[in-house]
Amino acid sequence: MERAFALANHWHAGDVRKGTQIPYISHLMAVSALVLEYGGDETQASAALLHDVIEDTDCTLDEIIELVGNEVAQIVWECTHVEFPDITEKEAKTVAKKKFYLERLLSPDRLAAANLVALCDKTHNIECTVRDWQISGQDKSMFNKFNGGYEIQKNWYTSLADAFDKLDVPANLRTRFRTAVTTVFGT
């Protein structure tokens, strides 16, 4: 985990959470902590520290394999949102990425160890969204900071909750996730 933290800290140095001054590493640490709290192992916790490094930085899968190992790299890859360079319209690109992520999440070929990491990531994200939703006075314009507005985010999180219900992940964490989704989107 030390090597994973060092790599995450290196690649995300200076990054902040969208619309905040909160260092991005805090999200990675929170996701890693959730993985451990919900029964994950050190490999999954290490992958949690690195789950955004491929999509958000210039770090490569090969670098992760070399520095942290193949098992961690496989989980990171399973949790990475794939880019669609041929789609140029921002909203269409966002929808395509989310659709593909959901399809991969439910794929029978998916690495099962990645599911807990994915759920912990999305749980931390939606719980931060709940906080921001309450601070904003439930103003839908707060979703403008994301690559999709309120309706796209609502569809995304509702679809994720339905997908996680089909996976072998801790039931109490699935409930925690769905409760946060309902708090913001009412579904």
Residues (pLDDT < 70) of the chain are: none
pLDDT score, position 155: 94
Q: Measured between alpha carbons, how far is 80 from 66 in angstroms, rounded to an integer?
A: 18
pLDDT score, position 85: 80
pLDDT tens per residue across span 6-42 = 999 999 999 999 878 999 999 999 999 999 999 999 9
Report all structural domains of the chain as residue ranges with CATH numbers, in order of start: 2-185 (1.10.3210.10)
pLDDT score, position 20: 84
pLDDT score, position 107: 95
pLDDT score, position 74: 97
pLDDT score, position 71: 97
Cα distances (angstroms) measured from residue 128 to each of 31, 82, 95, 102, 124: 12, 23, 21, 21, 6
pLDDT tens per residue across span 130-139 = 999 999 999 9
pLDDT score, position 145: 82
pLDDT score, position 118: 98
Contact 50, 76 (CB under 8 A): yes
Contact 158, 186 (CB under 8 A): no
